[in-house]
Amino acid sequence: MRKVIYKYALKNALDYGRAEPKAVLGKVLQEKPEFKKNIKELLSLLDEVVKEVNALSPEEVRREIQGFEFVAKKKEKKALPDLPGAEKVVLRFAPNPSGPLHLGHCRAAVLNDEYAKRYSGKLILRFEDTDPARVDPEAYSMVEEDLRWLGVEYHEVVIQSEHLDNYYRYARELLKMGKAYVCTCSPEELRALRSAGKACGCRDKGSEENLEDYSRMFNEFREGEAVVRLKTSLTLPDPTMRDFVIMRISEKPHPRAPGRRVYPLYNFAVAVDDHLMGMTHVLRGKDHLINTRKQEFIYDYFFWPKPKFIHYGLMKVEGLELSTSLMARGIKEGKYRGWEDLRLGTLIALRRRGIRPEAIRRAIIDVGIKSTDISFSWKNLYAYNKELIDRDAKRFFFVPDPRLLIIKDTGGIKEKYIAPSHPERQELGKRELKFEISGDEARTYISGMDYKRLKKGDVIRLMEAFNVQIMEKSDGTAMGMLHSHSLQEARRLRAPLIQWASQVNVEVEMPDGDTIRGYGEAGLAETEVGDVVQFERFGFSRIDKKGDPVVACYTHR
């Protein structure tokens, strides 16, 4: 009984800093319901053991807990619901190539990928690049690289600008059927007529005349002088739905379609492609509801069967910039250093921070496809990510905003102290922590925050080394004396445990754009770019650059 209580008290202390008798009791009874029979004995033991555990240092808790096994909590993995009528599915992920992918895109990418895998279906990556003004030629390969990293497996790549002739053909078809017309009215004229629910003169042209005007769009009309409108109805409650534009002229050169000037608008291109590619389900955000309705007009005119449209709620992502156009502008203006700037919600930036794609996928699956709006949970993402990185992250001391600590009387102070690289995994080896010793002084640095808290006379423990009594504090330098060696003594005196280092210059880039500078322990010089480490009492970080300084990107606590 004692052992079971001890185990859960340790676990509780590890997870929450202190063991709470109630929480421990719950866990104990969950594993051993039969203990209820001896409840008196259980409660008195519980009291004793919890006190004992709460007197341990965090390191001791970590060390003690190693010998115990925990049955993994069966976390109810939130599964996505089945798709309606899904036997053979064809799905697509259809980004605009205006930049690399960001967290907002991940929802459509991951959900479609999950479903394509679940039903052994087909996933098409379709670049929607029929607006030359919004095409970044670099984006195509960036998007593919992001998808590969995310583990999204697509089976075909379609680039809309390579299929402009398809849209021309179907536009001609609609003009012939009398379901569309070439409109040459100015926007002002149109707006006035539109809000009055009135038709413009172009609406009544015969198809001969329309087809002729359509040909002129390819060589005669200039940008803005003529568009093709779909005949919907002029009395639709939403004015944007009334005879909306499906083709237009853009004289801005397209990086992948030189010499072209007539382009389909988004809704027309999407309807044509979703039909031609045999899409069975279209998963998209509620912000596309009006678009879906516009696209349905096109399906109806051609008597095409419709895919199942599924609209999920909006996903709010707080804290990071997610608008591709604002990101691009910020980069151009020098506000952001590039797509990898940690203030941006791009996958490149998340990757650089040490966020794992599996964690993103799990957090996105939790968001799900419900139609209610939802906030993306960073907490969730970080918890998943921590599960993935904690096991392999070596521990290091990092001292932000460093202040010198001089320890007098080096009698008994060693130059080197040995500590485990990981509290639970011996196999990750050991690390050497070093003081700079000269004469009868040992020097190291502690963080500005720890320094500020110190008062003359305090005893602190330099983690993994010894205890120091502070004699004096002035101008950002603390003087101390070796007080004692044992951790027990530090605990008895309630000495704070403090990390210390002096060897390696370290810069940590934070997600808010800040850079935190300080010193790290010697072993940091041996880390490789891409390693995720844990700076004790600071947080996980991914090594981004070697050298002087070592540059790391902050992952999370």
Contact residues: ligand GLU, CB under 6 A: 94-96, 128, 270, 282, 284, 288
Q: 163 or 288, CB closer to ligand GLU?
A: 288
In 3D, which of 100, 94, 555 has the Cα closest to residue 322? 100
Q: How far is the CB of 234 from ligand GLU (least distance, A)?
A: 26
Q: Tell me how many helices (H) and strands (E) the chain has.
A: 17, 27
| CA pair distance 99, 550, nearest whole angstrom | 29
Q: Where are the beta strands (DSSP E) in 476-514?
A: 477-484, 497-498, 504-509
> Residue with structure tokens 């002087």?
548
| CA pair distance 252, 161, nearest whole angstrom | 14
Q: How far is the CB of 540 from ligand GLU (least distance, A)?
A: 32
Contact predicate 115/283, CB 8 Å: yes
Q: 282 or 553, CB closer to ligand GLU?
A: 282
Structure tokens at 95: 């980004």
| CA pair distance 107, 110, nearest whole angstrom | 5
| CA pair distance 354, 188, nearest whole angstrom | 52
Q: 146 or 544, CB closer to ligand GLU?
A: 146
| CA pair distance 452, 455, nearest whole angstrom | 8
Q: 270 or 355, CB closer to ligand GLU?
A: 270
> Residue with structure tokens 């051993």?
32
Q: How far is the CB of 133 from ligand GLU (least distance, A)?
A: 15
Number of Cβ atoms within 10 Å of the Cβ of 1: 15
Q: How far is the CB of 383 from ligand GLU (least distance, A)?
A: 29
Q: 112 or 232, CB closer to ligand GLU?
A: 112
Q: 227 or 270, CB closer to ligand GLU?
A: 270
Q: How far is the CB of 285 from ligand GLU (least distance, A)?
A: 8
Q: How far is the CB of 105 from ligand GLU (least distance, A)?
A: 7
Q: 125 or 442, CB closer to ligand GLU?
A: 125
| CA pair distance 193, 366, nearest whole angstrom | 47
| CA pair distance 227, 208, nearest whole angstrom | 16
Q: 160 or 467, CB closer to ligand GLU?
A: 160
517-534 b/e with 16+ CB inside 10 Å = b?
ebbbbbbbeebeeebbbb
In 3D, which of 207, 325, 216 has the Cα closest to residue 261? 216
Q: How far is the CB of 179 from ligand GLU (least distance, A)?
A: 21
Q: How far is the CB of 238 from ligand GLU (least distance, A)?
A: 18
Q: How far is the CB of 92 from ligand GLU (least distance, A)?
A: 8
* The pairing of beta strand 245-249 with beta strand 315-316: unpaired
Structure tokens at 7: 């185990």
Q: 95 or 480, CB closer to ligand GLU?
A: 95
Alpha carbon dihedral 74, 75, 76, 79, in 10-degree steps, equals -120
